[in-house]
Amino acid sequence: MKSKIIGTIITLFVGALLFFVVLGTNNFDNPNEVFQVYLNGKKIGLIKSEDSLLELIDKEQSSIKEAFNVDKVYPPNGLVIEKVYTYSDKLNDTQEIYDEIKNSEPFTVKGYTVTITYNSTKKAVDEGSDLPEVEDDRAPLKIYLLNPDLIKQSLREVASTFIGEDELKSYENGTQVEIGDTGEKITSVYFDETITIKESLISTEQKIFTDEKELTKYLLYGTLDEQEKYTVKEGEDLYKIAEDHKLNIEELLIVNPKYPSGSALLSPGEELNVGLINPLVSITYNKVEVADVEVPYKTEIVKNDNKYIDFREITTHGANGINRVTQDVKYINGEVASLKITHSEVVKDPVTEIVTKGTKSMGSYISYNSQDFATGDYSWPTLSPFKITSRFAYRWGEFHRGIDISGPGYGSPIFAVADGVVFKSGWGTREGYYVTIKHGEDLYTQYMHLTKILVSTGQHVSREQKIGTMGLTGAGVTGVHLHLGVWVGTQPYYPGSTVLDPCKSLFRC
């Protein structure tokens, strides 16, 4: 009996031991190796093989391969597959997981992400000025492509558009003609932005560039929309077409490079591109330019108390002089951003014009009006030598209501063009530090972007009196210059005022 009980106990013990050994072998010592699939951080299932899912994605997406001319298609960027161990035998079917991915997120192809980062830049001023950096608040721009050479080719095409193919090629090859008595030479070419290229998996829902012309168009216009075209009519020229479409002649020539200049002859029926460029990058190039520039003659007024105030007689005719000027010029996308004159020598002295004017009263007041302009009685507002860097014309789709004068340098004096009273002086967001002078009854001249104001509102000023110093204050100003505006009727920018071209109303420039 005792031996039977002992035998039973031994049997139960051995059986229990075998049960735990088998249980431990099947469930604890060797768990299953599987793969947990996440989509955008959410678990979507367990699969037996990672490779089988990747192969299925690549196999099923033949249309993507054809569309982008690639050999392989990859999972969405939000897909994560992690190896895990489990004792469960419950796995998802690979096709089931693929279908969920396909219906949720786009697949990817291997390509390159170009990131264009817009940097803070220092305002271009002479050494010794103390102005802060200008923040560019544009978010980084991302461009997707399959071939990294595409962005290099398009960026060069953008540079060529603004600089000119022959000039750019000469610079690249080191074959620029050396400057003789006059001439110009590129010293550097670069983009203001930081441009990086990184290999990445790109969503097929993104715009992926595969064509150089299309990418170049996007970089120039900031859009892939179709640009406006214009068909030339009988008797039209490039200047008229540019003005009618709110472009300046330089902008029109940039987008129609087959025309060498604004005086190129047109034939009826020719088609022009009249779209407004909005470059996504800033091609910057610096030049040394040596040129003979005219120095406007000054006018000396001799008062005659015996003559009535409508009397005006030129006793000595003026003549412009010529200076040979060396200047460092910085261009951004074809427009002068800053200019500094580094050397000047006189080739021909100007001849001062002597004008006799009557002062005797006629018993009634004679005001300034448009017929009085361009008599030569106005003094140029800056020192010489100088250069007009922006004309009274359309610029980037907006009309530039005045002329920009560069050259004399940061802190150089600004002069009143005629006798008058300071109508306003102070600060404006667009104007920076500015002075507005009223001459007579209805003529106003405005001097903008000053670094210092030397007169105050209500003060009487005389012709050639120093009223401020040249600077680059105000919104959007990139280089040292004076903006000179001329208005009649009432104060600048007010209803009833008319803006005039300084180079046709006060001066001949």
Q: What is the pLDDT of residues 361-372, one digit of tens each?
A: 765 443 434 334
Q: Are strands 133-134 and 229-231 parallel, antiparallel or unpaired?
A: unpaired
Alpha helices in 69-200 (DSSP H): 94-102, 149-163, 165-173
- Within 8 A by CB and 6+ apart from 438, the residues are 420, 421, 422, 423, 444, 491
Q: Which residues share a beta bridge with 439?
A: 443
In the chain, the amino acid numbered 175 is T
Q: Say what the pTM is.
A: 0.78
Q: What is the pLDDT of residues 162-206, one digit of tens each?
A: 998 999 999 999 999 999 999 999 999 999 999 999 999 999 999
Distance CA 457, CA 29 (A): 93
Q: Are 118 and 136 in contact (CB under 8 A)?
A: yes
The pLDDT-based confidence of 220 (bands split at 50, 70, 90) is: very high
Q: Omega into 385 within 30° of 0, i.e. cis? A: yes
Lowest mean pLDDT among 123-127, 271-275, 415-419, 496-500: 123-127
Look at residue 456 in the predicted model and tell me its pLDDT.
Answer: 95
Q: Are strands 299-308 and 353-360 parallel, antiparallel or unpaired?
A: parallel
Look at residue 371 in the predicted model and tell me its pLDDT.
Answer: 36
Q: Rounded to the nearest 5 degrees, what angle is found at the Cα of 17, between the Cα atoms of 15 and 18?
A: 65
Lowest mean pLDDT among 314-318, 349-353, 396-400: 396-400
Average pLDDT for the chain: 87
Look at residue 44 in the predicted model and tell me its pLDDT.
Answer: 93
Give just the sign of the alpha carbon dihedral 252, 258, 261, 263.
Answer: negative
Q: What is the pLDDT of residues 94-151, one digit of tens each?
A: 999 999 999 999 999 999 999 999 986 655 554 445 555 556 678 999 999 999 999 9
Q: What is the pLDDT of residues 262-315, one digit of tens each?
A: 899 999 999 999 988 899 999 999 999 999 988 888 888 888 888 888 888 999
Distance of CA 475 to CAs 129, 449, 478, Å?
A: 18, 9, 9
Look at residue 358 in the predicted model and tell me its pLDDT.
Answer: 87
Q: Are 187 and 171 in contact (CB under 8 A)?
A: no
Q: What is the pLDDT of residues 32-47, one digit of tens each?
A: 899 999 999 999 999 9
Distance CA 437, CA 423 (A): 5
Look at residue 138 in the predicted model and tell me its pLDDT.
Answer: 81
Percent of the chain exceeding pLDDT 70 equals 88
The pLDDT-based confidence of 438 (bands split at 50, 70, 90) is: very high
In the chain, the amino acid numbered 427 is W
Look at residue 178 in the predicted model and tell me its pLDDT.
Answer: 94
Q: Rounded to the nearest 5 degrees, what angle is found at the Cα of 162, between the Cα atoms of 160 and 166?
A: 45
